[in-house]
A and B are shown apart, each in its own frame.
Chain A
């Protein structure tokens, strides 16, 4: 078999392993995703179920629901979400590999870095916990990656036309109907376009007006709202901004959750950030991180901060972490050459440690109680310790 075959098949197998742990399980949002399928199938729903669908935030992301409603008669409602998500999870891992290979196109070890990054993605804690449940989170990450690839493609042109901006606007608008994480593509797109010639205020002030087709991004959303007579994506969200979320303990929860999502990959990523001197990539890290942080802080105010939102950081954290792992492996293999430990062995050991923490973390995920939206970091830690007691205690009972 060719190298590429091994790469792709191993990523698919790893994705299946990750998806197996919480396959077909439910979370609070599932209560809206399930009746939404019947609603789109035009089944005669009870009044309270119609209200449940039309007022739910889940229904504002109708693309995967629509797909599930097509295959539901064949495999059932839960499997139609879970199986679609499992396939999307495999696509995600493979797409991450191709995206990172393009990002590191000038690096001599681009294939290795991209593959390590894709393995980090396939065994990521947030994907193990959320990807294959009866939810639509992983579809959001696929749109994020596709959006990045398409934006990069259009902005590689020397003079993008207004029609190019229009295409991107409509595309991101459509992606918002898959999952709201695509919203970070706006700041990324605008910053990438305006900063093409560095921080040149004269150029930026001239070019900002050429982004006018961005207003058409609302078209898919408006068509959806008109067709189904439902409110805007953010309708009702203002009532969810509560004091608990921006208290000190609320921010503690924010840091615990996003730290836990990547655990030791953060250390590799910091090492990668220190060592990666490539200007193009550093520009990408800066503008994408800025876009993602704006989104994550926004989410902290209007929704329950959860590791599933950390997915928006994947392209940056995994690119940097993969680079960091290669740096560690290169340096260590030079130092301990006497006992013949090569680069591959060190990379493999680091990946096994990372994947093991992800799987153990996913197993210890606190699933036995509802953590309220206003809960602080102390409540999250308590729930985690309770789960550890329950699961570790259960092993010896």
Chain B
């Protein structure tokens, strides 16, 4: 076997295994996130207490959970006043990107941008928060 084929075969096997691990991890995380979301949103709605949304680790699902309450007219008060997910849900509902600058200062850049981009998407589509908040 020549050196190119040997190298290509090794790189192929390593990259395939790594790809498999990474993609499996992404899928498993997504399934677990969805389960976690279903569990906490049910508790939040049953108890009429949006603070349960705070327990959802995935920001996208947390925003989705808070938005259920924000749509009903609740605000990000008390325990939720500094929660990024609640603030993004509120900004998206208000359609006010300047609000994002107020609640997420420059040192909080990823949240600030996610908040603004989410507002633009919410403004013109009914995508919901499907692609919101891939914050690293």
Contacts and interface: CB of A to CB of B under 8 A. Distances in A.
Nearest to B3: A344
Contact of A115 (B7, B15, B109): B7
Contacts of A46: 123
B27 interface: no
A116 B7 CA distance: 9
B7 A9 contact: no
B113 A28 contact: yes
A124 interface: no
Contacts of B26: 20
B113 A43 contact: no
B26 to A, nearest CB: 7
Given A6-B5, A77-B131, A367-B136, A344 B10 contact: yes
Contacts of B106: 369-370
B30 interface: no
B84 to A, nearest CB: 13
A49 B120 contact: yes
Interface stretch (A31-39, A284-292, A373-381): A31-39
Interface string A132-146: 001000000000000
B124 A38 contact: yes
A14 interface: yes
A38 B123 CA distance: 10
B103 interface: no
A20 B22 contact: yes
A35 B124 contact: yes
Nearest to B5: A3
A76 B113 contact: no
Sorting the interface of chain B by its residue count into under 10, 10 to 19, 20 to 34 or 35 or more gives 35 or more
A351 B14 CA distance: 12
Contacts of A24: 131, 134
A22 interface: yes
A13 interface: yes
Interface residues of A, number: 47
A77 B121 contact: yes
A77 B110 contact: no
Interface string A33-56: 011001000010110010000000
Contacts of B7: 112, 115-116, 344, 347-348
Contacts of B11: 6, 10, 14, 119, 348, 351
Interface in A308-358: 342-344, 347-348, 351
Contacts of B124: 35, 38, 43, 45
B107 A369 contact: yes
A7 B8 contact: yes
B42 interface: no
Contacts of B123: 46, 49
Interface string B115-132: 011001101110100110
B68 interface: no
A59 to B, nearest CB: 14
A113 to B, nearest CB: 10
A84 interface: no
B113 A112 contact: no
Contacts of B117: 26, 30-31, 34, 78, 134
Nearest to B21: A17
B39 interface: no
Q: Which of B4, B107, B114 has the most CB of A within 10 A?
A: B4
Nearest to B120: A34
A368 interface: yes
Contact of B127 (A9, A77, A370): A77
A89 to B, nearest CB: 13
Q: Which of A6, A27, A46, A369 has the most CB of B within 10 A?
A: A6
Contacts of B113: 26-28, 30-31
B31 interface: no
30 contacts: A10-B11, A13-B18, A13-B19, A16-B19, A16-B23, A17-B18, A17-B19, A20-B22, A24-B131, A26-B110, A26-B114, A31-B117, A38-B124, A43-B124, A45-B124, A76-B127, A76-B130, A76-B131, A77-B127, A77-B131, A111-B4, A112-B3, A112-B4, A115-B4, A119-B11, A344-B10, A368-B107, A368-B109, A369-B106, A370-B106
The 5 closest A-B pairs by CB, nearest first: A13-B15, A6-B8, A78-B131, A10-B12, A10-B11
Interface of A: 3, 6-7, 9-10, 13-14, 16-17, 20-28, 30-31, 34-35, 38, 43, 45-46, 49, 76-79, 111-112, 115-116, 119, 134, 342-344, 347-348, 351, 367-370
